[in-house]
Chains A and B, each alone.
Chain A
């Protein structure tokens, strides 16, 4: 084991977290959601939930990770107690399971970048044919999946510093590329004398605004796009410097994420509205259809001739590739961090995770590649994976909120026992609800003081919105999916519950195994009270230490230097 690992600067953290948050969801999902939900109408709930859902959760995650200084498993072990370590496993697993197929998706983006760069998408090619051929050329899909994994592993092999550098380079490049694409797209849209795409994107239809579905979609886009509740911010907070801010950083990350979404939305909508006869029919289709079928056609018609078209094609797909890669880095790091926390050497952890991502991602490259009614290929196995694990993220968020509720309850009970607080709901509201915020958020390191609005978001808004999302998702599925209860139906509900049940059950059953290993916290030197966990359930866990500690029976985890230090001590 070595010394603690941390980002070299605040901007390193910011770029890493922005990189994690900005992914394909910003660039291909957001424009589709805008198109399908009444243009600018959608921006209102989407923006509202940034402040009600996403930023409060990211603040919570930063606070949890900064104090626990471990990945998700350790964080739940420390904040929830030994019995709740499985919640961290769930969070890590969901990220990992998404990573299995996300590497394949990132590979698609990379392939389209190289195709665009080599002119393979220009000259009026049949984009459906290009897409179908690609998806059915398994070796090519695997090649790009492998490339994505190799780049990802390279970026995280070297720990926080390397992650920081990779994200900084790719994010800055992405900003530049997206601005270039936006400029060209606006030029396209303006070439017919109007800015239809921009006009649509900022116009409100009050009838649609009044529809619950619009708000539910705004919430889901905000929740997914920011990676709030995914455990990513917990993971990157492990590498925070000892006196790092958590609140302003969370705002910066959330706002940057939404800024990129707006730019991507404007780019895609402007380009599509510029050339498509029925732009709304295009933007309301599936996300991959917009990205890989419509956009190459659209970019190929950009004004300014072949050079402009060529630049637009590769610039957009390179930006998309960078967005996917930076998200991939955080996804893999989330898994790797948990191994490292439990005494695995980083190199081994990276290799194991990389191998798993590759092997378990393979089926998504070639299994069930079907044609839809329009003759467009789609990867049904991959889609089923997304169907099963996509909503598992919601429970990761719920677990995070639960630990906060639980901590508040613990503090309140202790105060009640000490005669410092009254019992009953009023006492819990007065002493329990603000406890987490007082103890872990408003620590003095922050540039922003967080008020009671955050308590409202986590204790009231979150459970209500979580319930709305889950009920609407499953209700919609039950109402509209044929044969929804058939376990053999890959789009049904039973298959989701089955997988969730098996995975969750296994994690609960083997919880004792996870907590029987020592946990090494990545506490920076001089962290002092900022790393104190004595008030937490994990504070009296004998197997929780810091990097460099040597536990009896687990000496093989320690480096020679650590062993010598321990001997001397």
Chain B
């Protein structure tokens, strides 16, 4: 039976086309996710802080397997252990706990990395952050949801991302929608053909089923049949080649208050827009942080907007929505939802002056130091947590942030936003590159890609800080169409946004270089030899060729530029009556070599031919899977061909001699002699016995 999420638009004409159950498995057609669980885990109901945290812990403790190896790929944390941070301030575990409910933000470290896939148990351990599994050579990605308490979808989407990783890690070749095809419709328009619905599943449906999420866009993202069969191998590859820091709910204090007090469990019926900020006690006097003597929240004044509290261009009006008097709440007045926190009146650099060098990337006081005495910002336990997580997670000890790409989830408006937010009519130095990735994510979601300040100017925003201070390509996803989206919409909106964190993780190694390569369209013109064109030699290794654009800065290091291949052969214990069963071997790696020959790129330009000689045994009979991964000289890895998570498949015939005639004849003699010879003797003995029967049979008579 189908759920009510499939709407009926065409009332008059009888529908033409297929019903969902004609195409897909019952589970898929009913939005039943394969990991099972209750309505919260199935995204039919919202998690609250406690159920979300429990689920995070459960998934972190779960055992994961890849290629017959057990790996811990997740570790659960709350806040940071603390110590002396990058600014020389001593922090403790308590420093990151919310003002009111005293929870530190829960987060997960996710990686399967390490040379032997050591995951979160291997690598270096970071005493300040509290995590292990830190590998200098593995890129880190930071993703944070629910800066704003009432934006409930902003933690549901990260939870969907988490569930997807947990369920599919270590798997491959799953027919997610039950249509009989494998990995045929990945997120977005990965093949660049302009089709989101790559296999046409959604278009095959009767028209009244094509807009299953009811957003008015038939066969758009989030509709059943669109992006429904992603390659699971890509998920495993990403987890194994990235360190993902996932903070689904940053603003725990605010979220609990919104859910438990301000709006209630059914907040989508809330009379107001909901609670946005954290629960800093601003006090009616406007003096902070003196505790409220009544121990109650002053809804007209308390709280800080966490996405206005980051130090970069903090509080600068510039036409922004920040307060006219930064650091002050309107005492007794209407609630200021975007209060950016108190002014910092300390002499941060100890030079006797206060706030003389604001965080803006400039040496405002011309003392040779930059941004050393800030005006305000990062005053809250939640934003301090983000700041220290960013600045203290320095796997390669180079003093710079490891997070080359960062993502924040918000709601609503169906937008992809990139820096800057603090100024209008301005552009970042990476404007073109930021647009490039933004467009990719907008394609996946059919959201609009725009510069943050084009929506409205903001100050102290997370992405401005990540980009401005830490040179991180940072994006803000404005999810859905309401702060408290109705529960009927959780599942399809979460699915619609699922590809985004995977995309950020993929480009998180070097988003700038990836954008440059993408803008030049170098990546698209290169190709790996297709299975149809691959020539299998009668003996020896199988040469797999690739045509590379001369402008593509690939490295010769086999660890980064290679063919991944594996053999798939029939199991030796086939079912007598069922379909042919296969056993898939682990992936192996063979490096490319330059041939000195030219080839033709897909844009008809001349490319360089490289080859990897894959040592498939001659006595192998079965299928060969292969794909290539390229790395650049600056360490961007991987560029995957034919596409991320996809591989070519070709049947390989047995190429070895069938045997040695002399030895075979000898075995024939042995076998025939044993079986037929013994049989002959047995028959002869039977005949003799039958002739002599009286003398033998008498023994028992």
Question: Does B678 interact with chain A (Cβ within 8 Å)?
Answer: yes
Provide the A350-388 mask, 1 if CB < 8 A to any CB of B, else 0. 000000000000000000000111101011101100110
Q: Which residues of B contact A387 (CB under 8 A)?
A: 575
Question: Does B683 interact with chain A (Cβ within 8 Å)?
Answer: yes
- A376 in contact with B683 (CB, 8 Å): no
- Measured between alpha carbons, how far is A105 from B577 in the docked complex, in Å? 9
Question: What are 24 of the A-B contact pairs (CB < 8 Å)?
Answer: A37-B572, A202-B665, A202-B668, A204-B659, A204-B663, A242-B700, A248-B685, A255-B678, A259-B676, A262-B676, A281-B570, A284-B569, A286-B574, A286-B576, A287-B574, A288-B577, A372-B578, A372-B579, A378-B578, A380-B578, A443-B700, A444-B700, A528-B700, A530-B700
Q: Which residues of A contact B676 (CB under 8 A)?
A: 255, 259, 262
- Not counting A245-B686, A286-B577, a sample of 11 additional A-B residue pairs whose C-beta atoms are within 8 angstroms of each other reads A29-B576, A200-B658, A202-B665, A243-B700, A245-B689, A248-B682, A248-B685, A255-B675, A280-B621, A284-B574, A444-B696
CB distance from B189 to the nearest CB of A (A): 27
- Measured between alpha carbons, how far is A40 from B667 in the docked complex, in Å? 8
Question: Does B260 interact with chain A (Cβ within 8 Å)?
Answer: no
- B686 in contact with A447 (CB, 8 Å): yes
Question: Does A308 interact with chain B (Cβ within 8 Å)?
Answer: no
Q: Which residues of A contact B700 (CB under 8 A)?
A: 242-243, 443-445, 528-530
Q: Which residues of B contact A251 (CB under 8 A)?
A: 678, 682
- Measured between alpha carbons, how far is A444 from B698 in the docked complex, in Å? 8
Question: Does B674 interact with chain A (Cβ within 8 Å)?
Answer: yes
Which A-chain residue is minimally distant from B622 (CB atoms)? A281
- Measured between alpha carbons, how far is A376 from B180 in the docked complex, in Å? 13
A residues in contact (CB < 8 Å) with B: 10, 14, 28-29, 32-33, 36-37, 39-40, 43, 47, 105, 196, 198-205, 213-214, 217, 220, 242-243, 245, 248-249, 251-252, 255-256, 258-259, 262, 273, 277-281, 284-289, 371-374, 376, 378-380, 382-383, 386-387, 443-445, 447-448, 476, 480, 526, 528-530
- Measured between alpha carbons, how far is A383 from B581 in the docked complex, in Å? 13
Q: Given the known A-B contacts A204-B667, A243-B697, A447-B685, are A36 and B578 also in contact in the complex, defined by CB atoms under 8 Å? A: no
Q: Which residues of B contact A380 (CB under 8 A)?
A: 578
Q: Given the known A-B contacts A36-B570, A277-B653, A280-B621, are A248 and B686 also in contact in the complex, defined by CB atoms under 8 Å? A: yes
Q: Which residues of A contact B604 (CB under 8 A)?
A: none
Question: Does B87 interact with chain A (Cβ within 8 Å)?
Answer: no
- Measured between alpha carbons, how far is A19 from B529 in the docked complex, in Å? 54
Question: Does B654 interact with chain A (Cβ within 8 Å)?
Answer: yes
Which A-chain residue is minimally distant from B680 (CB atoms)? A255
Q: Given the known A-B contacts A245-B689, A258-B675, A287-B577, are A203 and B180 also in contact in the complex, defined by CB atoms under 8 Å? A: no
Q: Which residues of B contact A444 (CB under 8 A)?
A: 696, 699-700
Q: Given the known A-B contacts A262-B672, A373-B579, are A43 and B574 also in contact in the complex, defined by CB atoms under 8 Å? A: no
Which A-chain residue is minimally distant from B666 (CB atoms)? A202
Q: Which of B576, B667, B682 has the most CB of A within 10 A?
A: B576
Which B-chain residue is minimally distant from A46 (CB atoms)? B671
5 smallest beta-carbon distances between A and B, as pairs? A203-B659, A444-B699, A372-B579, A278-B653, A243-B697
- A373 in contact with B180 (CB, 8 Å): yes
- Measured between alpha carbons, how far is A70 from B173 in the docked complex, in Å? 53
Question: Does B285 interact with chain A (Cβ within 8 Å)?
Answer: no
- A386 in contact with B576 (CB, 8 Å): yes
Q: Given the known A-B contacts A47-B675, A445-B700, are A40 and B659 also in contact in the complex, defined by CB atoms under 8 Å? A: yes
- A286 in contact with B579 (CB, 8 Å): yes
Q: Which residues of B contact A245 (CB under 8 A)?
A: 686, 689
Q: Which residues of B contact A203 (CB under 8 A)?
A: 658-660, 663-664, 667
Selected from A36, A199, A258, A286, the residue in CB contact (under 8 A) with B664 is: A199
- Measured between alpha carbons, how far is A51 from B581 in the docked complex, in Å? 31
Q: Given the known A-B contacts A47-B674, A443-B700, are A252 and B580 also in contact in the complex, defined by CB atoms under 8 Å? A: no
Q: Which residues of A contact B665 (CB under 8 A)?
A: 202
- B574 in contact with A36 (CB, 8 Å): yes
Selected from B574, B682, B693, B697, the residue in CB contact (under 8 A) with A32 is: B574
- Measured between alpha carbons, how far is A530 from B698 in the docked complex, in Å? 12
The A contact surface, by secondary structure, is: helix
Which B-chain residue is minimally distant from A217 (CB atoms)? B572
- Measured between alpha carbons, how far is A213 from B679 in the docked complex, in Å? 28
Q: Which of B658, B674, B678 has the most CB of A within 10 A?
A: B658
Question: Does B661 interact with chain A (Cβ within 8 Å)?
Answer: yes
- Measured between alpha carbons, how far is A235 from B422 in the docked complex, in Å? 91
Q: Which residues of B contact A214 (CB under 8 A)?
A: 572
Question: Does B651 interact with chain A (Cβ within 8 Å)?
Answer: yes
- Measured between alpha carbons, how far is A536 from B320 in the docked complex, in Å? 100
CB distance from A491 to the nearest CB of B (A): 8
Q: Given the known A-B contacts A262-B671, A447-B685, are A199 and B658 also in contact in the complex, defined by CB atoms under 8 Å? A: yes
- Measured between alpha carbons, how far is A372 from B180 in the docked complex, in Å? 9
Q: Given the known A-B contacts A251-B678, A255-B675, A286-B574, are A278 and B664 also in contact in the complex, defined by CB atoms under 8 Å? A: no
- A278 in contact with B621 (CB, 8 Å): yes
Q: Which B residues from 492 to 548 make CB contacts under 8 A with A?
A: none
- A43 in contact with B622 (CB, 8 Å): no
Selected from A33, A249, A255, A285, the residue in CB contact (under 8 A) with B580 is: A285
Question: Does B217 interact with chain A (Cβ within 8 Å)?
Answer: no
Question: Does B573 interact with chain A (Cβ within 8 Å)?
Answer: yes
- A284 in contact with B621 (CB, 8 Å): yes
Question: Does B61 interact with chain A (Cβ within 8 Å)?
Answer: no
Q: Which of B180, B580, B583, B697 has the most CB of A within 10 A?
A: B580
Selected from A14, A273, A383, A528, the residue in CB contact (under 8 A) with B701 is: A528
Which B-chain residue is minimally distant from A256 (CB atoms)? B679
Question: Does B58 interact with chain A (Cβ within 8 Å)?
Answer: no
- B570 in contact with A386 (CB, 8 Å): no
- Measured between alpha carbons, how far is A217 from B574 in the docked complex, in Å? 11
Question: Does B594 interact with chain A (Cβ within 8 Å)?
Answer: no
- A202 in contact with B654 (CB, 8 Å): no
CB distance from A45 to the nearest CB of B (A): 12
- B573 in contact with A278 (CB, 8 Å): no
- A10 in contact with B663 (CB, 8 Å): no
CB distance from B70 to the nearest CB of A (A): 13
Q: Which residues of B contact A205 (CB under 8 A)?
A: 619
Question: Does B396 interact with chain A (Cβ within 8 Å)?
Answer: no
Q: Which residues of B contact A43 (CB under 8 A)?
A: 667, 671
Q: Which residues of B contact A33 (CB under 8 A)?
A: 572
Selected from A202, A285, A376, A383, the residue in CB contact (under 8 A) with B659 is: A202
Q: Given the known A-B contacts A10-B686, A243-B701, are A200 and B651 also in contact in the complex, defined by CB atoms under 8 Å? A: no
Question: Does B432 interact with chain A (Cβ within 8 Å)?
Answer: no
- B658 in contact with A47 (CB, 8 Å): no
Question: Does B365 interact with chain A (Cβ within 8 Å)?
Answer: no
Q: Which residues of A contact B180 (CB under 8 A)?
A: 371, 373
Q: Which residues of A contact B619 (CB under 8 A)?
A: 205
Which A-chain residue is minimally distant from B583 (CB atoms)? A480
CB distance from B691 to the nearest CB of A (A): 12
Selected from A199, A243, A443, the residue in CB contact (under 8 A) with B661 is: A199
Which A-chain residue is minimally distant from B661 (CB atoms)? A199
CB distance from A425 to the nearest CB of B (A): 33
- Measured between alpha carbons, how far is A448 from B690 in the docked complex, in Å? 13
Q: Which B residues from 644 to 670 make CB contacts under 8 A with A?
A: 651, 653-654, 658-661, 663-665, 667-668
CB distance from A380 to the nearest CB of B (A): 7
CB distance from A478 to the nearest CB of B (A): 13
Q: Which residues of A contact B690 (CB under 8 A)?
A: 10
Q: Given the known A-B contacts A258-B675, A262-B671, are A39 and B697 also in contact in the complex, defined by CB atoms under 8 Å? A: no
CB distance from A346 to the nearest CB of B (A): 28
Provide the B621-658 mask, 1 if CB < 8 A to any CB of A, else 0. 11000000000000000000000000000010110001
- Measured between alpha carbons, how far is A46 from B661 in the docked complex, in Å? 21
- Measured between alpha carbons, how far is A258 from B686 in the docked complex, in Å? 18
Q: Which residues of B contact A378 (CB under 8 A)?
A: 577-579
CB distance from A311 to the nearest CB of B (A): 25
- Measured between alpha carbons, how far is A202 from B686 in the docked complex, in Å? 30
Q: Which residues of A contact B661 (CB under 8 A)?
A: 199
Q: Which residues of B contact A242 (CB under 8 A)?
A: 700-701
- Measured between alpha carbons, how far is A262 from B682 in the docked complex, in Å? 18
- A379 in contact with B674 (CB, 8 Å): no
